[in-house]
Structure 1
């Protein structure tokens, strides 16, 4: 009891210090708990959205399951009957296997197809009759169909089957309801059937799994039990197929049950493979769900890597706060040791004290983690948030497990200073307080050189692998990503900070020596204080260095990833929208529809007489669309041919036809890709209708230069002469990267020629072109879609950069990158402020006597404030400058690592590091505000020092 009393009293005496430590522990718990919470919540939301898109694209319920199998046996023996019964039982177990509730279920049985004719038909009518169908059954028949006419079938004892038919089939039989029909099997077995009702789908019976009579409109449907007794158990004729259909409640499919769903899918396919006959399993959502296997683990690893800088900051904060607390209590600890208390007893007291803080942080932290998770879900970029639907987050065992591990590790970390302090006696404690410029542990062990060397080695190793990847033309998935690569910036920042802090005391001494004859007393005192107590400031300086460096890295990395992904999408499309319309032509439908070109162009034959002639649709409706800033016609021919008369070289090329003015107003092009602005090339083309631009690949192959002649054509056309006016490396929507590399295949460089659309149409041929649109700011894509539908324009292809950008921003991994970097930066700034304030308030309190003596000596209060400001500039200010240097360095070295997030084969424009001035201004503003507030608070506390009380303390 005495121990608990001592712990509570000690915590109460240091309540503000304990509060700072508790805040650090709580944020630590929140961060760690947000990792599993976020990965599960964002993947759950993305999975549900992708499943819903299955319904939009394929027109089927996402939980739809259909199993169809033929029946290979000609006769229904005991073995076949038992196989069908086992299959029925297996299908009934599918919901439990998949871990989902069954919303709807029905099954169908089919006999072999039979010839159908009237019972009173003549021989001639029997030969001319074309009607055919099977006898079939449907479970839940009464609720799944609706009668148009007649009545529901019943089982009769006279051997005649009553059945339901569709209107289409009844017309094909040339009979009316109630008239007897004969269904004759291939083996001449005959069945007497009377249609008693005409049926259609009952739309209100089942919203998830409606029975569609249009799917199989031929044949007779008899009661299910009658079919089972006569054709399954009775074996009156050969069965053709069995059909089971289920609708599972996909909304309850979670990340945790993905494995069960995938396993159920594999079990179904394995079970029906050849067991009864030829099987067909259709589960539209299977591929979508299977793609999520392992995604959570990958996302957790990536988030852990991205969180590493802020976790390192938290570790520093916790260690610094614990160390400051222990520094204030070292005298108390040394007195306890001198009075007989063992190290174990002292450590037990501190362990219980920190466990109290840890347990309370564990109680609050996960709920703060929920808030962090929602912040991650709302991120749209670095320090950018949008009003996106909130993530559905709920605490689970994983979050508490991770949080408990984090608390245990944090408590162990903050006990280290206490453990070190228990070895200090009163004498050694006084000796340590006398001078604080001894080398720290990490400088003695050379940890700074080790960390920098390790980071440089990992960077070198990564660059070598990246070079091999590009040389072989492989995709970025060709090697397994090592998560340690994302830790390199943190390692380098930590090592670089320690390395600069090793040098910085020498810089202070140099400043001191250089101007000691001229320094004012206040500045002289500051320089002496810093040089003699350099070890005292190392923690806070390293803390600020890490904050600034990781903040800059986070800003540059997030900006680079976002900009490159958006540039890639916009470049690939070429404008805000690219639309392909259907052109009228004299081509056969098969000819038009068999095209493999992305523009919907038809292939032409080698004979010009057989060439397809197109009729160009009006372009005016596109120009009249509301919300459109500009529009352009862009003709693309992928397999054109070129010949250079000068060298005789020839080859295949992509041919673009444009109207220079419209294209310049509409197209999107990133600056710096061409030697000159794109409008300069368009102005170069404009005066001469025969002018063309050629890609550098053609120029290098044919040695063509501006002014040379080049002939163009494609299948079925005569050549037309053009003049080269310029050489280009990139062009909107054209990929200049080589294809066919790797796997012993020869690398092929793509070619491009850009000319005037009107000249190409007049001298070669008029074929379908794309319509590019540039939207006005703030115009939604939906408004354009609505206008296109209203004008009834025949659209056969549409690419929307805005929608692709939205889809890209909603990607779980990109959300994690933006959210974690934003959240990490904000948390780092807050922790930096609290850490900065905590350190300097305690430092100021410890030097009360010194400031009192200085005031008693006659130094004005303004000069003491000047001492404080100069001390801040030479410590905290210098740390910020060093942090900026290291932050820019790690950005230059390590931001290019994020190129692995992009496929190397289609990364156009080339990956480029982006630095935006606004990010630097935001960072400097936050840091400046932190330092200013800290200085104001310190100045206020300094003004409250009572000089007489401070001098009285010196009488000890």
Structure 2
């Protein structure tokens, strides 16, 4: 049986290879999605923890566990402490799958009365004499608690003396104290102190020697503190005192920090489960337990984001998976068409249908296993492709994300392999049911309608997609008010159904279109054209697969290109709007603060900014620069926040960039020209115009708040201000309420801030790094940059390690795989089609058709099937883009949408699509023509004559 299976594979080796190619791509894409999302999750999470570390200067992945004891005796508190210690180390730390960086625990007693050497002797004399002890004749230093911490020496810096030791003097416990404790309570290094439970108690608890003065070091200050009324002793000695019931615990704390770079998506459940071991309780009046961490919220957020990301990516690959499925079915059917005669012969010789089917089942299993192995290997490369995408068919050199095979990728790959195995076996199962007579009958009945035509699948798919579109648009206003940035998964499904539906509708109408064109000039067609028309019009269903391949590939390519371009350009629009120009920065001056002993970075303001701009921005790398000032305050009577901006109109217009469709299509330079002509006027936002009931050409009054020299709030009245223009959008203005005026007017406004920024317009092709290096190179040692923003850098960072980055990769991957599959399917389909028509070619030659006419006939068939399918794909893709791409506004990944969402189309995207499509067809036609040239037409000619 195995020999027969492998022999059949070898007999159909080219078709088998084509099947393996298709299944390999499908399995690779399916496996790559969870691998990529997992790697992306790890990078995003690591970046988030890194931000936390930079923001708070502490461990970004840490947990603490705290217990407070009230009124418990020594034995009970000791037992509870041991249980909690076991919980923290054996149930929490032992089960945390993340690498531990640091941990410690510390325990603190209640406060005890502490005597110095002199007062201790006075007390002992009174006890020896049998005198009554009284608080009036006994003096203590203060009430001090005793504390200890594991790893304490690692968390402390010694200011004076030394660190405590364990075995020095018998019966003496060494301790260290804070500098403030030494000064405030007059404690000295080298002195002995005596600890009693209460001031009047006779029994001595401990004799303590202060051996050092310490402070908590900077690296530990975020999680460890040392009270000024605390004696810090060795942890082992503390444990011995607890076991001997000499002291009473009041508080215990545990802390652990972990390496956030070792967090992985697959570890989330283990992390959460381990953290749940740290139980919290405040119901018991004698014990309060509290736990805190700074990682669960972040992990939960990114886990949810990853699920959304994975769903989006899976839905984006639906079209290519669908195409590969159709490709596999087509190749399988072509194989079965060649095998039907052999199947019918086997059945006539006594082979059962189960035996015949089992042969093809074994063949399918072998193909699936081989495809699974190659697919899993290819998945890693696809992940790198996804990570390098910067737009549709645009790639940049990024640091590769870590991708590993995980459980979900293997499950997806296995499911995909099983699905395609079924697709391979369905034609085999159908073929196994035919006898020789039935096979001959079906050969002559090639024009029977397909199942999808009978059930009107095309109409159903179009109806569903259009209903979605209608439903979405009817609720668009409500959706915008609810949540404009949510992910609507039905959008992807609707687009696929729309393209598939219209593609099938075109195939349904295609024979009628061909017949109509044929009838228009029926009497004038030459033999080659006449034969091509009749063959295409009456050729049955064999051409449907290749046509739907081309239609889907081109339509989806165009839709993906427009979708990717729209999402990327809108992201850049918002970033460019918020920055205002190619770059914006604020110079600063470094000054030494004598009171703190540190250097301060003070942002430059006022006229200093103007001189800085001239010094730093006069460069061959920069076209123009401009300085603007701004002041945030409130205006009355609306009592709303407003931003005042002072600009020099000509400079400002040379630097800023604003999308042309904003402000009702009025170019910003026209507005600035008006301000130059009437420098006493102002430009106001639509929100202010509506609140004050004013419009362009009118005067209005307002009151603004300012901070006077005494730090008091002062109200200032401004009257008869001419409104030159009312605008909805203005570069850098993320506040919807703003008033724009000239720098001269701004400077005379009472108590206005002279804070500002320098805007830069780079020369074409200049890198951000070159501009930054040029600016820094012109600075003195006392100069620095307070803050700086580059649009290109901000856009790259926004795309990098985000869902948009993955979408760019998936959209590109969809198209590339579609074209590869389409090219391979095109070649296989036409080769088999031509091979099956060798006898027909011989008949045509016998009837007098020469080779050139034969080639011309094949060319006309290609023109009517392939070229027309491409045109249909372009039209369907364009219509789908016009109807569905605007709905991607809800897919916006930006937290703030400053400018309206706009759809984009770029000719370069279409050129890429046409170039790749054309290249695929040229390759296919070249292989096809080479195959035809090797056909032995002369032998077919003899068959035709016979």
TM-score bracket relative to the smaller structure: 0.7 to 0.9
Of 790, 805, 809, 1:815 maps to 805
Among candidates 59, 71, 82, match of residue 79 of structure 2 = 82
Aligned equivalents of 1:10, 1:32: Cα separation in 2: 29
User: What is the match of residue 722 of structure 2?
Assistant: 723
Structure 2 unmatched ranges of 5 or more: 123-136, 596-601, 706-713
- The separation in 1 between residues aligned to 2:224 and 2:81, in whole angstroms, is 24
Does residue 641 in structure 1 map to residue 635 in structure 2? yes
**Post-superposition offset of 1:751:** 3.5
Q: Hey, what does 1:402 align to over in structure 2?
A: 412
- Distance (Å, rounded) in 1 between the aligned partners of 2:855 and 2:68: 92
RMSD: 3.7
1:220 and 2:231 equivalent? yes
1:755 aligns with 2:741: yes
Render the CA deviation track for 1:218-271: whole Å, top value 9, x for unaligned.
6432222332344675354x6553332223343332211112223433442525
Residues 1:102 and 2:100 are matched in the alignment: yes
- Structure 1 position 492 matched with structure 2 position 498: yes
Q: CA deviation at 1:166?
A: 4.7
Q: Deviations over 1:737-783 (max 9, x none)?
A: xxxxxxxxxxxxx4432222320220333314331433633023874
SS at match of 2:63: strand
Q: 1:212 to 1:149 in 2, by over 3 A?
A: farther
The alpha-carbon deviation at position 449 of structure 1 amounts to 0.4
What is the CA-CA distance between 1:656 and the residue it aligns to?
2.8
The answer as to 2:165 corresponding to 1:153 is yes
- Give CA-to-partner distance per residue, 1:396-453, whole Å, 9 cap, x none: 3332222221111111112222233334444444444446433222112111101111
User: Is 1:201–1:210's contact at 8 Å kept on the other side of the alignment?
Assistant: yes
Deviations 1:775-819 (A, max 9, x none): 633023874896799765687766664554233212342222111
Q: Which residue of 1 aligns with 2:921?
A: 931
Q: Provide the C-alpha distance between the structure 1 equivalents of 2:695 and 2:58, rounded to a whole number of angstroms.
A: 57
Structure 1 residue 67, shift from structure 2 partner: 3.1
> Per-residue CA shift, 1:148-206, capped at 9, x if unaligned?
64463346777654222355644555564323356798867797543223456789xxx
Give how far 1:527 is off: 0.8
- Out of 679-688 and 664-673, give the one that drifted further: 664-673
After superposition, the Cα gap between the structure-2 partners of 1:293 and 1:150, relative to the gap in structure 1 and judged at 3 Å, is closer
Mean CA deviation greater in 419-428 or 46-55: 419-428
**Maintained 8 Å contact 1:382/1:818:** yes
Specify the alignment match of 1:375 in structure 2: 385
Task: Report if aligned partners of 1:383, 1:822 keep a CA contact under 8 Å in 2.
Answer: yes
Q: How far apart are residue 544 of structure 1 and its match?
A: 0.8
Query: Deviations for 1:702-746, whole angstroms, at most 9, x for unmatched residues?
Result: 45333211224312223243211112121123357xxxxxxxxxx
Bigger shift: residues 305-314 or 178-187: 178-187
- Give the structure 1 partner of residue 907 of structure 2: 917
Structure 1 residue 139 corresponds to structure 2 residue 130: no
1:775-924, aligned counterparts within 5 Å? 776=762, 777-780=766-769, 783=773, 801-902=791-892, 906-924=896-914
Residues 227, 530 of structure 1: alpha-carbon distance in 2 compared, 3 angstrom cutoff: same
Superposition map of 1:623-638 within 5 A: 623-625=614-616, 630-638=624-632
Aligned to 1:44: 42
CA contact (8 A) 1:640 1:712 kept: no
Which of 461, 475, 479 is 2:483 aligned to? 475
Identify if the C-alpha distance between structure 1 residues 615 and 869 changes in structure 2 by more than 3 Å, giving closer, same or farther.
Answer: closer
C-alpha spacing 1:254/1:441, structure 2 compared with 1 (3 Å): same
Pick from 26, 29, 34: which aligns with 2:27? 29
Question: Which residue in 2 is equivalent to 1:605?
Answer: none
* Alignment-derived partner of residue 330 in structure 2: 320
**Cα distance in 2 between the residues matched to 1:768 and 1:121:** 64
Partner residue in 2 for 1:621: 612
Q: CA deviation at 1:600?
A: 11
Residue 358 (structure 2) aligned to one of 348, 360, 363: 348
Superposition deviation, residue 838 in structure 1? 0.5
Asked if 1:667 corresponds to 2:662, the answer is: no
CA contact (8 A) 2:461 2:501 kept: yes
Structure 1 residues 542 and 633: alpha-carbon distance in aligned structure 2, compared to 1, 3 A threshold: same
In structure 2, relative to structure 1, the CA distance for the partners of 1:331 and 1:640 (3 Å cut) is same
The alignment partner of 2:570 has SS state of helix
Q: Which residue of 45, 50, 63 maps to 1:65?
A: 63
Counterpart of 2:302 in 1: which secondary structure? coil
Whole-Å separation in 2 of the counterparts to 1:882 and 1:127? 103
1:705 to 695, 699, 708: 695
C-alpha distance in 2, partners of 1:23/1:563?
35
Q: What is the deviation of 1:282?
A: 4.3
Secondary structure of 2:543's aligned partner = helix
Contact residue 29 and residue 403 of structure 1 kept, 8 A: yes
Q: Which sits farther off after the overlay, 574-583 or 556-565?
A: 574-583
SS at match of 1:311: helix
2:710 corresponds in structure 1 to none
Change (3 A) 1:138 1:51: same
| Contact 1:68 1:281 (C-alpha < 8 Å) held by counterparts | yes
8 Å CA contact 2:629–2:646 kept in 1: the answer is yes
8 Å CA contact retained: 2:840, 2:944? no
Given that 2:561 and 2:909 are in contact with CA atoms closer than 8 Å, whether structure 1 keeps it comes out as yes
Rounded Cα–Cα distance in structure 1 between residues aligned with 2:38 and 2:27: 17
Shift in CA distance, 662/792, structure 1 to aligned 2, threshold 3 Å: farther
Q: 1:89 to 1:909 in 2, by over 3 A?
A: same
Distance 1:701 1:416, change over 3 A: same
For this pair of structures, how many residues does the alignment match? 899
Q: Is 1:677 paired with 2:670?
A: no
* Pairs within 5 Å for 1:459-470: 459-470=469-480
Residues 1:505 and 1:615: Cα distance change in structure 2 (over 3 Å):
closer
Contact 1:579 1:770 in 2 (8 A): no
TM-aligned CA distance change 1:172 to 1:782, over 3 Å: farther
Shift of 1:580: 6.3
Q: Assess if the C-alpha contact under 8 Å between 2:156 and 2:216 holds in 1.
A: yes
Whether the aligned pair in 2 keeps the contact of 1:104 and 1:248 (CA below 8 Å) is yes
Q: Contact 1:55/1:61 (CA < 8 Å) preserved in 2?
A: yes
Greater shift, 162-171 or 393-402, is seen at: 162-171
Q: CA deviation at 1:15?
A: 1.0
Please state how far the C-alpha of 1:319 moved relative to its aligned partner: 0.9
- More deviation, 534-543/881-890: 534-543
Deviation at 1:499, TM superposition (A): 0.6
Structure 1 portions without partners, runs of 5+: 590-598, 602-613, 644-648, 737-749
What is aligned with 1:288? 298
Distance 1:534 1:319 in 2: 17
Relative to structure 1, is the Cα distance of residues 127 and 291 closer, same or farther in structure 2, using a 3 angstrom cutoff? farther
Rounded to whole Å, the distance in 2 between the matches of 1:263 and 1:8 is: 50
- Determine the C-alpha separation between the residues in 2 that align with 1:900 and 1:116: 68
Match of 1:944 in 2: 934
Pick from 551, 554, 561 the counterpart of residue 557 of structure 2: 551
For residues 187 and 512 of structure 1, what CA distance do their matches in structure 2 show? 116
Q: Partners of 2:425 and 2:166 in 1: how far apart?
A: 83
Closer/same/farther in 2, CA of residues 752 and 913 from structure 1, 3 Å limit: same
Length-normalised TM-score, structure 2: 0.86
1:496 to partner: Cα distance: 0.4
1:183/1:78 CA distance change after superposition, 3 Å: closer
Task: Say whether residues 1:194 and 2:209 are aligned partners.
Answer: yes
How many angstroms apart in 2 are the aligned matches of 1:475 and 1:492?
25
**CA distance, structure 1, for counterparts of residue 2 and residue 170 of structure 2:** 94
Q: Structure 1 residue 688: deviation in Å?
A: 2.0
Q: How does 1:162-181 map to 2 (within 5 A)?
A: 162-166=174-178, 169-174=181-186, 176-181=188-193
Hey, what's the Cα distance between the residues in 2 that align with 1:272 and 1:36? 42
Secondary structure, aligned partner of 1:711:
strand
**CA deviation map 1:19-66 (0-9, x unaligned):** 111111111211111122112122122222322333222222334333
